[in-house]
Amino acid sequence: MQVIDTMRLRASLLVLSAFFLARCMPATARATSRANLADSITCSASALGSMGYDVLAADERNRFVQAQRLKHATNPFSGAMDADRITVFMDAAENGTSMRVVGETIGTLSAVRFPGFTQRRGAGIPGAYETGNRIVRKWTSREVAGDTESVAHACAD
């Protein structure tokens, strides 16, 4: 009886940890367009712009489009900024352009009063790393996951 309870506990912990680790992975989508590279870049940039994203880079030479949308101006708990970021990578395919869309949410936590405590707390946050006195977190919000799929479908044939 105790062996079965231990096995159930381990299975439950494994499922729970897989759920939380999946939220740290970026959202991805793939699509293929019959358009050439320049038209695919224009389509991706305009689709992102119509969803409220600011296009940071649209580079035909390096074959990518990068955009960002601020989720809210400041976080009242930490004074940090959160943003959804989507990057569309493109490659020449047989019949046009293949696109890989990657989306993630970026946020920072400030280490203001107790830097030692915040660093220890940040070490336990999946997807967190330190930059100076801030902890940067990456995760996948529902909005960016949906937008990633929308960009892929908007430019696919």
- pTM comes to 0.69
Question: Is residue 2 situated within a structural domain?
Answer: no
- Residue 105: HSE in the Cβ half-sphere, 13 Å Cα cutoff: 17
Residues 17, 133: contact at Cβ < 8 Å? no
Nearest to residue 66, comparing CAs of 39, 104, 115, 113? Answer: 104
Q: Which amino acid is at 93?
A: A
pLDDT in tens, 98-143: 999 999 988 766 554 444 444 444 444 444 445 555 566 777 888 8
Does a structural domain hold residue 10?
A: no
Domain count, the chain: 1
Instruction: Write the CATH number for 80.
Output: 3.30.530
Report yes or no on 99 lying in a domain: yes
DSSP labels, 56-119: EEEETTTTEEEEEEEEES--TTT---EEEEEEEEEEE-SSSEEEEEEEEEEEEEE--S-HHHHH
Specify if 141 maps to a domain: yes
Residues of the chain with pLDDT under 70: 1-4, 13-24, 72-81, 108-136
Host domain of residue 92: 25-155
